[in-house]
Chain A
Amino acid sequence: MTRPVSGVPWFRLSGLVALGALAACGGGGGASKPAKSVIQNKGSDTMVNVAQVWAEEYRKAAPDVEVEVSGGGSGVGLAALLKGAVDIANASRDIKPSEVEQATKNTGKPPVGFTVGFDALAVYVHKDNPLSEVTLDELYEIYAEGGKATRWSELGVKIPGVKDDTIVRVSRQSSSGTYEFFREHALQNKDFRLGSRDLSGSKEVVELVGSTPTAIGYSGMGYATPAVKMLKVAKAKGEPFVAPNVAAVHDKSYPLARSLHVYTLGEPQGAVKSYIEWILSDAGQKVVEESGYVPVPPDQRPKH
């Protein structure tokens, strides 16, 4: 199963390839060793880090299986799966009906998906900010290019002890997956208004919001500190406001959450089957949690 992988950023692979090469050398040219099976894994950039840790951890559990991980985006991974070029596609969105149709036409096998974790963003404000709820439309007005909210008073919020109530927008640098997720879900893929403080880490966002009474920021929900407050978010005016927590992420009522999937062509077989089972085991789900995502609750994991 040595397939040329085109358009793969080499640096994403290099670490794994180097490790693989080392492992191969460590074998000391053992001619009696069984042939390694290689699993090709491609897709979502949001998931590429967690997928690489899976691959590395899985090597300890199953040394004869090598998982080659690359990013490129959910669409890129699924496109490769439809052509039968990869074994597993990572996707941070649901597969589209057209893609299912295409895969069945190309390969005769309908894609099968597994939810392997969840990703949720919390919207943070300073703990003294009286605001406790926000709608996606309000987030759009605050953050998007062409949005109109520049002062807290325009949202009907009075922050105690503050003379200048200009909203201090805290954002992420443009290469961040969090930035893209927020842009896609809160800004409907419109651009951010310039002038936000673009910080380079999830933790930095929460720290700046925690020290600035007039700030608002978004970051993973695992980064909360006592100095900040997580807002309840509603899809639109009139819809219920939902607090970001594991339960709301699991039942998909929180608007800034999404499932992370892996897809295979047909029911997974052999090494791929064992790998996906391992991802959904406690060991694989621990990786999800340690990477800052929400693991799948045990009762929602598929039975094998």
Chain B
Amino acid sequence: MNHDGSTPDALAARPRRPAWAVQGERALEALVRLAGVSAILFVAAIFFFVLREAAPVLVKDDFSLAQFLFSTEWYPTSASHVRYGTLALTVGTLSVTALAMLIAVPFGLGAAVYLSEFCAPRLRETLKITIELLSAIPSVVWGFVGLTVMSRLIVSTTGAPVGVNVLNGGIILALMSVPVIVSIGEDALKAVPDSYREAGLALGATRWQLVYRVLLPAARNGLLAAVLLGVGRAVGETMAVLMATGHAVHIPGSLLDSVRTLTANIAAELGEAPAGSDHYRVLFLTGTLLFLITFAVNLAADFVVRGIRRR
């Protein structure tokens, strides 16, 4: 074990560590490595199993992948003409998520900046606890809020015929993503060394200039991670959107149209689709599609970060 090239004399002078300690350390190291690698393992395994359930339908003659991706006609149990087109569902997911992020990102990042830079310590503690509490509310409760309170509010303020729609789902998802964005974003800002702040202030920057010119660029990776976790929460959320979006297969023309999302569709239909049937397999394929969408979002964000870094 003489890696450091020290002389035999020096080695003799150093107290030897017992063999169990060395072995134990190695075992621990292996365990930690396993824990690290397991993330890849799990992602790969989940992808594999979902795809395996879906795969048989892909090779069927009467199944067309182009129809699956680009047709808006979702008729899984039609008596005359079964069609599996998920475009309307994908658009539903994307529209609700986009609206949610439009609301949640400014709010979440603003709150993170306020908490980390402008807030008095005591108020900060109170706010952090409240925000953590907000993120602990189960999604079915959010769905309930959307279905009852929010839906009535939307009907009375906008005059829309039905209160369960894109706007409702977007607001509910925004409320659900904001706590995630705030807590991760605040951590990212806190991780910026104080010397940056001191240097900025010493150069005569105002607090706003400090935030805008120094802290946001320095913390951008962490902030992007915060936003991505928010997007992930919004794309993957099921129960709340099932209750709040109206569950209509339809490409939305306005914020007040009802939609159906990929996740809600799986939740509503998988229970009744006979295991092994085409419908069942197509629903798993929908799961794969959902997986690929989140993967693409993450990858795109990664490229964006690298692009910023290179410049």
Contacts and interface: CB of A to CB of B under 8 A. Distances in A.
B244 to A, nearest CB: 12
The 10 A-B pairs at the shortest CB distance, nearest first, are namely A175-B272, A195-B250, A174-B77, A194-B249, A189-B79, A191-B78, A214-B161, A198-B247, A197-B248, A197-B246
A195 B249 contact: yes
Contact of A198 (B72, B88, B161, B260): B260
A191 B260 contact: no
B162 A174 contact: no
B107 interface: no
Interface residues of A, number: 29
A208 interface: yes
B143 to A, nearest CB: 12
B273 interface: yes
Interface of B: 72-81, 88, 152, 155, 159, 161-164, 246-250, 258, 260, 268-269, 271-274
Contact of B162 (A179, A183, A215): A215
A208 B162 contact: yes
Interface stretch (A33-41, A161-169, A275-283): A161-169
A212 B151 CA distance: 11
A111 B128 CA distance: 72
A106 interface: no
A200 interface: yes
B162 A194 contact: no
A266 interface: no
Contacts of A202: none
Nearest to B72: A194
A208 B248 CA distance: 13
Given A9-B274, A189-B79, A175 B269 contact: yes
A175 B271 contact: yes
Interface of A: 9, 162-164, 166, 168, 173-175, 179-180, 183-184, 189-191, 194-200, 208, 211-215
A215 B78 contact: no
A213 B159 CA distance: 11
8 contacts: A175-B269, A175-B271, A190-B80, A191-B81, A194-B249, A194-B250, A196-B248, A197-B162
Given A191-B75, A191-B81, A197 B161 contact: no
A168 to B, nearest CB: 5
Contacts of A200: 247, 268
Nearest to A163: B159
B144 to A, nearest CB: 13
A195 B247 CA distance: 9
A198 B249 contact: yes
A174 B76 contact: yes
Contacts of A183: 79
Nearest to A204: B147
A180 B78 CA distance: 9
Contacts of B250: 194-195
A194 B74 contact: yes
